[in-house]
A and B are shown apart, each in its own frame.
Chain A
Amino acid sequence: MIEFDHVTRTYGSKVAVADLTLSIPRGELFALLGPNGAGKTTTIRMLVGLLHASQGAVRVCNHDVVRQPQDAHLHVGYVPDEPCLYDKLTGREFLWFIADMFGMPRHVATARIDREISHFELAEFADDLAESYSLGMKQRLVFAASLLHDPDVLVLDEPMVGLDPRSVRIVKDLLRARTREGMTVFMSTHTLAMAEEMADRVGIMVRGRLRFLGTVPELREQMALESTSLEQLYLELTAPGGVPDGDAAKEPGR
């Protein structure tokens, strides 16, 4: 579903992502972890086509995101770290705009908009202008919009920021249900507990390089730290002068 093929991205002389090769199959929930400035957001922006790779290629459902951006975007739903809405549109109007953008027939769009409004409990404010929404309300609306076209791939950048515990539970349940139906989720997060609870595999990125790729038990096994939390493993791995690149960046999960 998602393929990073020897992807490198530089900002001037700084290497943000170095030679990233990663493949995520259908129905997997993948969590990308790493400290600030590790290259997570750059990776996500390359995945959704906002940034072009300096070298290598990113493919979604076999569509190159640079060469066939529209075809790739047809399969992707994206929830950015900062929700962007049109202030002068109501939540419902925004959902209609997104539905129309994906060329949905009217009856399908109506049913899906009602479905997402119900899933994310938006009914109370769906007809108010977006400028009056709180951060959490905006985030819920963006989630609803990103799932409207039943994407094959859902990309989430810090998805739980601004959500209240009830909304977090709704999102978690929905992600579980959708991945069971075959949707692939690529998520960047600092919430290690959520990654541990939800992710099939995790990737830990440090200074642009993937330092670990696999399941949490595999990480424990590899670092010989049994019965340790993901938080402890993460801190060990990302500490300055921690585990050297070569030791952890294998792909035991594949």
Chain B
Amino acid sequence: MSAAAVRLLGPEAEARLFLRLRATVAWQTIRWMLVHARLRLGLVILLSAMFWGSLYGLFVEAFSFLDSLHADVVPLLFNAFFSSLMVMLVFSAGILVYGGLYCSPEARLLLTLPVRAETIVAHKFQEAMWFSCWGFVLLGSPMLVAYGTVRESGWPYFALMLPFMISFAVIPATIGTICCLGLVAWMPRLRVHALSLAVAAACITAVWLGWSMAGRGRVDALSAAWFEQTFARLSVTEHKLLPSWWLSTGLIETARAGRDWRAGLPAVVEGIKFLALLIANAMLLQLMMGWLARLAYRYGFSQLCGETPTRRRPLGWLDRMFTDAGTSAGRPLRLLLLKDLRIFRRDISQWSQFVIFFGLLGLYFLNLRSFNYNNAYASMIGFLNLAVVGLILSTFTTRFVYPMISMEGRRFWILGLLPVHRDQIVWSKFLFSFGGGLLPCCALVFLSDWMLGLGWRLIALHEICCVMLCMGLSGIAVGLGARMPELREASPAKISSGFGGTLSLVVSSLFIMLVVIVAALPTHLFLLSNNQWFSHALGGNRSTAQQVLAWAGGPQGSALSLAIVVCLGLLATFVPLRLGLRAFRHLEP
């Protein structure tokens, strides 16, 4: 080795090098997206802007309402919001850092280079911060901007908002990273159990809080008594040692300085003190993380590699029953289904997201009764809930079902040599998706309708719509996945975020909107025909228009809309499937 030519880098030089790496990767990614994924990029920007704008409008309304009635509730809301976000950030950063530091090929490369362990950890920490915080910024920024707008705050509030958010987010993310490093280094065998226990404890606390606030009180929502009960239950989030309290108080203090910020300078100074407190704690935790990384990262990586996966087959009997049931002609299809079921069961990233999203939705539905909606609102919320269930299912079908055919294409040498017809592969994916989504979605829609106190006719209508949604969404994802397979790509995440995946998501969203609008129309026309203000507004054409509305909202109109929903469901299922089957039969891997 020519000793003069190489040398160890200092910490600053290492940090600069990784910054340059990140900038190059980001630039190449943006360039690639501008050339190859303009539709996706445009959709992401458009939908994010729409989402941000809607949230901003909602929060402006909410803060104006609270200012007029319960202005003192704002600190409590901020504390509750930021403390729950803090807990979520600890978990999400911890899990992301775990994936980046211990499971990624990049970490294996970096560990064989002359780079400090703490630099690798810092590099992966920044990555985790980015991934776990964009949601925080997307949710938190419209709320904080709306608050500043309603309070007519001066520019210091808006200028300090981002530093406040970043310095706050660093704290839970660093705690998550420290926990992850410690767990892997000193409890490698217990890491999954420890994480499961922590997640379970957080979920139980959240359920208890939600249930006790909304389910037990039996007082009118948003009444003074309700607010008092809520204040009492959430007082734990106002502990002065919590970073979320420093953030809330700092922001509220800074916002007190109005447009003439010079007059409100003391408030700004008070706010900056809280910002300094956040920054100081974030930096202290970063120092601790660096120290622990030096001590434990390489050791932990080695410890984790020493873990031998245990072979467990707790559901083997169920698999055997499934395989043996039915005729021998259907056996290949059952075997294909069983294979996908096993992969799903063993892939924690798939079923955990499924459980989290549907679990949260279930929690929200369980609390619906406490809001005492009248009939018109209950019906509307029932349809909106149906749309939400459909939209969540569509994200799963796009992310996990759409890439399935492409992934099979990569393993085509296995399936291609087996006595299985290609159509059976496509049908097995469809049945897997349809069967997997049907039960949880129908159960959730039933729960929502039951908690809203809807009549059996509406419940039956919602359930039929739900079945059509499950069928159509599965048809779209599987059909388009087979029509546009990406056989060269190994990552399902990249396949689903490509052009085909984006198209599948867009078509799925349009299908959901269409089904829900068609199904909801008769009910709302019926309500409209009975609305006195509307009848008055119709003036001279009152009788004819009312007759039309009454017909559309009556049994005939309902039957027609149901027929259209079923037709839409069948179209969304069989058209893409037909296209996919035809393409897959002629696929040359």
Contact = CB atoms under 8 A, between A and B. Distances in A.
Contacts of A105: 5
Contacts of A78: 112
A51 B24 contact: no
Interface string A65-106: 010011101111010101010101110010001101111110
Contact of B307 (A9, A12, A89, A100): A12
B105 A101 contact: no
Contacts of A51: 302, 305-306
B537 interface: no
B25 A89 contact: yes
Contacts of A71: 8, 114
A166 B298 CA distance: 38
Given A89-B28, A93-B24, A101-B17, A52 B299 contact: yes
26 contacts: A10-B306, A11-B306, A49-B112, A51-B302, A51-B306, A52-B298, A69-B117, A69-B298, A70-B114, A73-B112, A74-B1, A74-B6, A74-B8, A75-B1, A88-B28, A93-B24, A100-B9, A101-B17, A102-B6, A129-B28, A149-B1, A149-B5, A149-B6, A150-B1, A150-B2, A151-B1
Nearest to A151: B1
A103 B298 contact: no
Interface in B68-111: 105-106, 108-109, 111
A93 B17 CA distance: 12
Interface string A39-83: 000000100111110000000000000100111011110101010
A3 interface: no
B492 to A, nearest CB: 15
B3 to A, nearest CB: 9
A50 B24 contact: no
Main secondary structure of the interface of B (DSSP, over half): helix
Contacts of B29: 88
Contacts of A84: 105-106, 108-109
A104 B6 contact: yes
Nearest to B491: A87
Contacts of B299: 52
A239 interface: no
Interface in B286-307: 298-299, 301-303, 305-307
A254 B422 CA distance: 60
B135 to A, nearest CB: 23
A213 to B, nearest CB: 25
Given A101-B9, A103-B13, A80 B108 contact: yes
Interface of A: 9-12, 14, 45, 48-52, 66, 69-71, 73-76, 78, 80, 82, 84, 86, 88-90, 93, 97-98, 100-105, 108, 112, 129, 149-152
A125 to B, nearest CB: 15
Contacts of A69: 114, 117, 298
Given A88-B29, A100-B9, 8 more contacts: A11-B306, A50-B108, A74-B8, A75-B1, A76-B112, A101-B113, A104-B6, A150-B2
Contact of B308 (A12, A45, A80, A86): A12
Nearest to B27: A88
A82 B21 CA distance: 22
B115 interface: yes
Nearest to A9: B306
B20 to A, nearest CB: 8
A26 to B, nearest CB: 11
B24 A52 contact: no
Contacts of B28: 88-90, 129
A98 B109 CA distance: 11
Nearest to B115: A101
Contacts of A86: 21, 25, 106
Contacts of A82: 105
Nearest to A76: B112
B311 interface: no
A103 B25 contact: no
B7 interface: yes
Contacts of A76: 112
A108 B5 contact: yes
Nearest to A78: B112
Interface in B10-68: 13, 17, 20-21, 24-25, 28-29, 32
Contacts of B7: 74, 102-103
A152 B1 contact: yes
B556 to A, nearest CB: 57
B108 A104 contact: no
B429 interface: no
Contacts of A45: 305
B123 interface: no
A101 B114 contact: yes
Nearest to A108: B5
A151 B5 CA distance: 11
Contacts of B307: 11-12
A101 B113 CA distance: 7
A197 to B, nearest CB: 26
Contacts of B24: 88-89, 93
B124 interface: no
A192 B13 CA distance: 43
* Top 10 A-B pairs, shortest CB-CB distance: A103-B7, A84-B105, A52-B302, A73-B114, A88-B28, A102-B6, A84-B109, A88-B25, A70-B114, A74-B114
B116 interface: yes
Given A12-B306, A12-B308, A97-B21, A103 B112 contact: no
Given A73-B112, A129-B28, A103 B9 contact: yes
Contacts of B5: 104-105, 108, 112, 149-150
Contacts of B302: 50-52
A107 to B, nearest CB: 10
A82 B108 CA distance: 11
Nearest to B302: A52
B308 A14 contact: yes
Contacts of B105: 82, 84
A58 to B, nearest CB: 12
Q: Which of A10, A78, A112 has the most CB of B within 10 A?
A: A78
Contacts of A9: 306
Most chain A beta carbons < 10 A, residue from B2, B25, B112, B308: B112
B113 A98 contact: yes
A112 to B, nearest CB: 8
A75 B114 CA distance: 9
Contacts of A73: 112-115
Contacts of A90: 28
Interface in B105-152: 105-106, 108-109, 111-117
